[in-house]
Amino acid sequence: MQNLKIAHQFLILFAILILGALTLLVTLTLTTRQVDEQIKSVSEQTLLVTRQLNDIRDTATQIVGAFHHNDAHPAATSDPSIATAHAQDIADILLKFNMFLNHYSHVIDVYFPEEASLRDAVLNRASILKQLAERLSSGQNAAPSAPDAADPFDELIRAQINLQTSVSEAMEHEQNELTERIERIRDALHQTNLTIWMSFLGLSVLIAAAALYVARRIVRRIETLRTATLKVGDTNLSIRVEDDQRDELGDLARSFNAMTVQLSDMIAGRDTAEGRLRELNNHLESLVNSRTQEFKHAKEQAEEANRAKTRFLASMGHELRTPLNAIMGFAQMIKLCELSKEKEEEYVTIIVDNCRTLLGEINQLLVLSKLSDTDKMIERQPVSLNQAIEGSIARSTLLARQYGVKIKNETNRAALPNVLAQEITLNTIFDNLMSNAIKYNRPKDGQVTLRDQSLSRSLHRVFIEDTGMGFKEAFPGQALEPFERLKHFGGAIDGCGVGLTIASNFINSINGKLGYEPITEGGMRFWVDLEVAPNKSQTS
């Protein structure tokens, strides 16, 4: 081994050790498996013998029981058909009894020939029982020939008891023998394992001695390298190791000498590299934190959008089906039933109202789908604020009547100015705010009040107040988000939950402002700030 490299030397020793360990493991595994198979085989054989003895004992009990049943019902013997059937049953039991005896004898001959004497005792007593049963079956109705003669049935019972005694002794013997056999097998396994482990221990000692020999040869050279390394640790980079051997330690010595030369150059640039690395790590950490927050925010937005979509679909299914069902139902009644003119007009009115409701829902969805186009300013022109408010009140009267809500106009109509907007946009804004105030109002006796206030020569404010439930606590500043009210009111309020969103986007498109606040007495106050259109005299 002197001409081998150090790694090869230890590799050979390690391979020998691994090979020995694998051999030990395989031997132990095979031995253990063989012992387990032997124990399993012996257990199965013993169980088979025990099962046969149980069958013999149970069949003997059936034989005695069959004769006992016949004695307990003597009238049955007077019927030839019954007697024949009973004799056939006894014959079948005896046949099965004889089969169990043969199986038991065969198992003993195959697996446990040393138990032949115990087997013979069981077979002899079983033979006596079988002969008595056959004799009793052939003359079972005949009385004893002499007064002092033994009762055949009593003899049968004694034979059965003797057989059960022999069977019990045989079963007990089998259990004891099973324990002894298993103990013998385990003792043999223990001796085999002990021999294997002692052999492995001897192999390990030999390998350890060889490894020690190799280690002592190289320890001096390692010590030289260690001393040189310590000096390098004291910043003595001029140290050199003289070792001309052509093995790993020689290669290490030459690499060490080259390393000391390069280390001087590396130390010079180390501080600069570490500084740049710290800056890079700080920048990377900041970038990761920023991206993490962005991803988290995007995830939350996506989840909220998904929840809003789910709430919207659940609500719209109800909002669209309700008027459609009413339209279909009353239309079918008009078509299929003979109705009076008054009823027909009433049903037509209901159909028209539901059509109007359905059309309003669809229009709101269409408006919402086009809101992205209103993100930019639209072309504005002077619009009469008084006409917009009066028109919205007129259009909201029917809805207010349905909800039992009163509309009160307290604006200074004569002083209401023209504002910069589009007529259809301004009507949509007031219609949605009025609808919202009516639907969320107090039922039956609620009230919607309109007021106005001049904020400046160029800005006018319109208030729309309701006496409803409000949403000071229910809405955390998100009332203007689409479908927002769905998750707070669970679809209890008619509509899609997009009215305020539409109003807010339209107000932004005309450079207005929408705000809201809770009223102390109950309800909500919305206000709209609109730019006042300049008079012609001012523009000139």
**Residue linked to tokens 């059937």:** 85
**What is residue 386's predicted lDDT score, i.e. its pLDDT?**
94
**What is residue 141's predicted lDDT score, i.e. its pLDDT?**
44
**In whole angstroms, what separates CA 298 from the centre of its chain?**
26
Q: Cα–Cα distance between 115 and 39 in angstroms, integer?
A: 19
Q: Cα–Cα distance between 501 and 233 in angstroms, integer?
A: 73
Both structure tokens of 215: 């280690």
- The yes-or-no verdict on residue 158 having pLDDT over 60 is yes
Q: Cα–Cα distance between 499 and 480 in angstroms, integer?
A: 9
Confidence of residue 377 (pLDDT cuts 50, 70, 90): low
Both structure tokens of 88: 């056939």
Cβ-contact 524, 465 below 8 angstroms = yes
Q: What are phi and psi of 402, to 5 degrees?
A: -65, -35
Domain total in the chain: 2
Confidence of residue 488 (pLDDT cuts 50, 70, 90): very low
**What is residue 486's predicted lDDT score, i.e. its pLDDT?**
42
- The yes-or-no verdict on residue 419 having pLDDT over 90 is yes
Range of the domain at 61: 6-208
Helices (H), 404-456: 423-439
Average the pLDDT over 345-359 and give the result. Answer: 78
Q: Which of 208, 234, 249 is the last residue of a domain?
A: 208
Average the pLDDT over 155-178 and give the result. Answer: 84
Does the residue 222 lie in any domain?
no
Percent of the chain predicted with pLDDT > 70: 78
Average the pLDDT over 340-350 and give the result. Answer: 83
CATH number at residue 175: 1.20.1420
Cβ-contact 491, 316 below 8 angstroms = no
Does the residue 283 lie in any domain?
no
Does the residue 14 lie in any domain?
yes
pLDDT per residue as tens digits for the range 306-336? 676 665 555 555 556 667 777 888 888 888 8
- The yes-or-no verdict on residue 504 having pLDDT over 90 is no
Q: Which of 150, 173, 208 is the last residue of a domain?
A: 208
Does the residue 198 lie in any domain?
yes
Q: Please, what sign has the CA dihedral across residues 97, 102, 105, 108?
A: negative
Q: What are phi and psi of 382, to 5 degrees?
A: -60, 130
Q: Cα–Cα distance between 432 and 436 in angstroms, integer?
A: 6
pLDDT per residue as tens digits for the range 243-258? 777 777 777 777 877 8
For 190-259, the DSSP string reads HHHHHHHHHHHHHHHHHHHHHHHHHHHHHHHHHHHHHHHHHHHHTT-TT-------SSHHHHHHHHHHHH
Does the residue 125 lie in any domain?
yes
- The yes-or-no verdict on residue 394 having pLDDT over 80 is yes
Both structure tokens of 431: 């219609």
Better pLDDT: 350 or 527:
527
Q: What are phi and psi of 199, to 5 degrees?
A: -65, -40
Both structure tokens of 336: 């299929």
Does the residue 259 lie in any domain?
no
CATH number at residue 396: 3.30.565.10
Q: Cα–Cα distance between 498 and 281 in angstroms, integer?
A: 47
pLDDT per residue as tens digits for the range 433-453? 998 899 888 888 899 999 999
Cβ-contact 462, 437 below 8 angstroms = no
CA dihedral 149→153→156→162, nearest 10 degrees, is -80
Does the residue 435 lie in any domain?
yes
Q: Which of 208, 243, 278 is the last residue of a domain?
A: 208
pLDDT per residue as tens digits for the range 244-298? 777 777 777 778 778 877 777 777 777 788 888 888 888 888 888 888 888 888 8
Does the residue 266 lie in any domain?
no
